[in-house]
Amino acid sequence: MKLFKLTAITAAVLGSSVAMAANTVVVDNTQAGNDVVVVTDAQPVGYQYDQNAGVIANTTGALVGTGKTLFNTAVHPAAVSAEIGTLGYGANIAWGLNETTELTAGWNGMDFDGNKDLDASDSWINYGKVLGDGYGNYEGKLKYDFDFSNPYIGVNLRPWANNFTIGTGILVPDNKLKASLIADENSKGEATVSIDGQEYQVDEATIKAENKNKLAPYLTVGYRPNINQNWGVFGEIGAAYMGKLDAKVSNVSGTNTEGFEEAAKKEIEDDNIWYPIVKAGVTYRF
């Protein structure tokens, strides 16, 4: 019987070593005169899970839980908004990180064209200081075509946990401007553009400009009151640093235009653009 007992115990040990988590073999001597080998489903003590000491299991659970939280946050945004302003019309989605911080991602843009009659008192051509101050006295017509696209990602902060907000983030500007100058019939040969003290009599010219910088930081302050539990409105003001522009001047004609292309291009490209941000919108909170 001793040989049978030793053989049974050895087999049990080997079996548990190979399987690592296999059934445990237990020798039961309680029955009189017989040695009985009983196979149970109990795990060896060395492999039983201790919920108070399971460091790896708990870490894994924390990571999985965090992943689920991030996933749930991503697919269940806190709010969506529609907006309109100096960057055009657009929309954004906001995810609440905590009670005073929201991560936002959105887009603003617009595409419009038209004609504008200019005269000596008309400064519309200087909108955004894109073309420069020297065009203010040009007598003629401006044909324009604007194409703005400004995706952005940022953070809205509520530093005092009320309706006052501070917004900051990054625009990805893709803004294009095309402007054509056409002098009035009675002003041909006399319609003047002045750049760095030099006057040019320009009958016609085509000027194109677009953002050189691929990223543009912005900062705004705003106010976001709630109308009811779900709906709210907001307004923001601020600015974005757009940086410099790339420009091209072509199709120039007139009586004194020598050097105009280079001078106009340099004037546009030398300016650093701080673009004003003014926007208003409506928000729906989930």
3-state secondary structure 179-201: EEEEECHHHCCCCEEEECCEEEE
Average pLDDT, the chain: 78
pLDDT for 79 equals 94
Cα 186 → chain centroid? 50
- % of residues, the chain, pLDDT over 70: 67
The C-alpha atoms of residue 111 and residue 176 are separated, in whole angstroms, by 10
The C-alpha atoms of residue 242 and residue 130 are separated, in whole angstroms, by 12
Quickly state the pLDDT bin for 168 (edges 50, 70, 90).
very high
The C-alpha atoms of residue 40 and residue 55 are separated, in whole angstroms, by 28
Asked if residue 216 lies in contact with residue 240, where contact means CB atoms within 8 angstroms, the answer is yes
Structural domain 75-285, CATH architecture: Beta Barrel (2.40)
Quickly state the pLDDT bin for 135 (edges 50, 70, 90).
confident
Indicate the domain borders of the chain.
2-68, 75-285
Asked if residue 230 lies in contact with residue 280, where contact means CB atoms within 8 angstroms, the answer is no
Asked if residue 146 lies in contact with residue 177, where contact means CB atoms within 8 angstroms, the answer is yes
> Which pair of tokens denotes residue 153?
């990602």
Task: Give CA angle at 87 (222, 248), nearest 5°.
Answer: 145
Higher pLDDT: 218 or 25? It is 218
Residues in the chain: 286
The C-alpha atoms of residue 123 and residue 140 are separated, in whole angstroms, by 13
Region 233-256: mean pLDDT is 94
pLDDT for 68 equals 52
pLDDT for 9 equals 40
Region 254-272: mean pLDDT is 91
Higher pLDDT: 189 or 222? It is 222
Helix (H, G, I), strand (E, B) or coil at 128: helix
Higher pLDDT: 243 or 29? It is 243
Higher pLDDT: 10 or 143? It is 143
pTM: 0.68
Interval 5-46: pLDDT, tens: 434 444 443 344 444 444 444 444 444 445 554 444 444 444
Asked if residue 168 lies in contact with residue 217, where contact means CB atoms within 8 angstroms, the answer is yes
Q: Is a pLDDT exceeding 60 seen at residue 59?
A: no
Q: Is a pLDDT exceeding 90 seen at residue 152?
A: yes
pLDDT for 133 equals 67
